[in-house]
Amino acid sequence: MYSPRPRFKFNTIGLFTSNNKATVDFYTKAFGFTTDWDGIQPNVEMMLGDMRIILYPRSDFEQMVSYKFQYPMGLNGTVELAFDVPSYADVDKEYQHALRHGAISVLPPTTEPWGQRTCYVADLDGNLIEIGSFTIEQNNH
């Protein structure tokens, strides 16, 4: 039987943080996310267009679920946030912008054999962020 609506709509990434304020500052300055977070509540919702990130302190999450988790130390190679930008030049520009706002460099901008220019940085908790494009030049007509 055909269903016009999918069962689920994937709409949010949740990140468990060691410092909500520092993470909010990073994502707002490095990538332009916005939030109306009051600086007090443990749950932070951040938006960038249709993208939504929720931040929640690791310690509060463990208390809520009554379970102690083992978090990756250093860089977290289990998942990435991927941002698509309009052109190769934008990959380089956004990489430098992210570094100026506290990102950790993982892979500088590189043009891959499959035609993508990509780079990787990490946020303050070691979460990987990819910035990439398949467009060599942006048309400004």
Start-end of CATH 3.10.180.10 domains in the chain: 8-70, 72-141
Task: Mention every residue, 6+ apart, whose C-beta is less than 8 A from residue 75.
Answer: 104, 106, 122, 126, 128
Domain 8-70 is in which class?
alpha beta
**What pLDDT is attached to residue 1?**
61
**What pLDDT is attached to residue 141?**
47
Average pLDDT for runs of 10 along the chain of length 141: 77 94 98 97 96 95 94 90 97 98 98 97 96 84 47
**What pLDDT is attached to residue 3?**
64
- 72-141 is classed CATH 3.40.50.150: no
**What pLDDT is attached to residue 10?**
84
**What pLDDT is attached to residue 6?**
83
**What pLDDT is attached to residue 139?**
63
